[in-house]
Amino acid sequence: MLSERNRKVEKLLTEVINTKEREWRKQKRLPMYINKRVVFSLAFLSLRSATAIKVYLIFLYKCKWENLPIRPGCKDKEWRITNNGKIQFTYDEAEKYGISRGAFVKAIDKLIEVGLIDISKQGSGLHKDVSLYAISDRWEKYGTPEFEEQVRKKRKTQYGFAKGNKCAAIRWEKQRISQHSSNALEQVQTNSLEKERQKCRA
pLDDT by residue for the chain (202 residues), tens only, comes to: 557 777 776 777 777 777 766 766 665 556 788 889 999 999 999 999 999 999 999 999 999 888 888 888 888 888 888 899 999 999 999 998 999 999 999 999 999 999 999 999 988 766 678 899 999 999 999 999 999 998 877 665 554 444 455 554 555 555 555 555 555 556 655 666 566 666 655 5
The answer as to whether 192 is a domain residue is: yes
The backbone torsions φ and ψ at residue 117, rounded to the nearest 5 degrees and listed phi first, read -140, 165
- The sheet that has 87-88: what strands, in order across it? 87-88, 132-135, 117-121
77 with 117, same domain: the answer is yes
How many domains, the chain? 2
Residue 174: what pLDDT? Answer: 54
**Residue 141: partners with Cβ closer than 8 Å, 6 or more residues away:** 115, 147, 148
61 with 100, same domain: the answer is yes
124 with 64, same domain: the answer is yes
DSSP 130: -
Could you tell me where the DSSP H helices lie in 48-165?
50-62, 91-96, 101-113
86 with 164, same domain: the answer is no
Residue 20: what pLDDT? Answer: 67
Report how far residue 13's alpha carbon sits from residue 19's, in angstroms, rounded to the nearest whole number: 10
40 with 115, same domain: the answer is yes
The domain of 98 spans 31-141
Say what the pTM is: 0.64
From the list 96, 82, 91, the residue with the least C-alpha distance to 14 is 96
The answer as to whether 22 is a domain residue is: no
The backbone torsions φ and ψ at residue 30, rounded to the nearest 5 degrees and listed phi first, read -135, 80
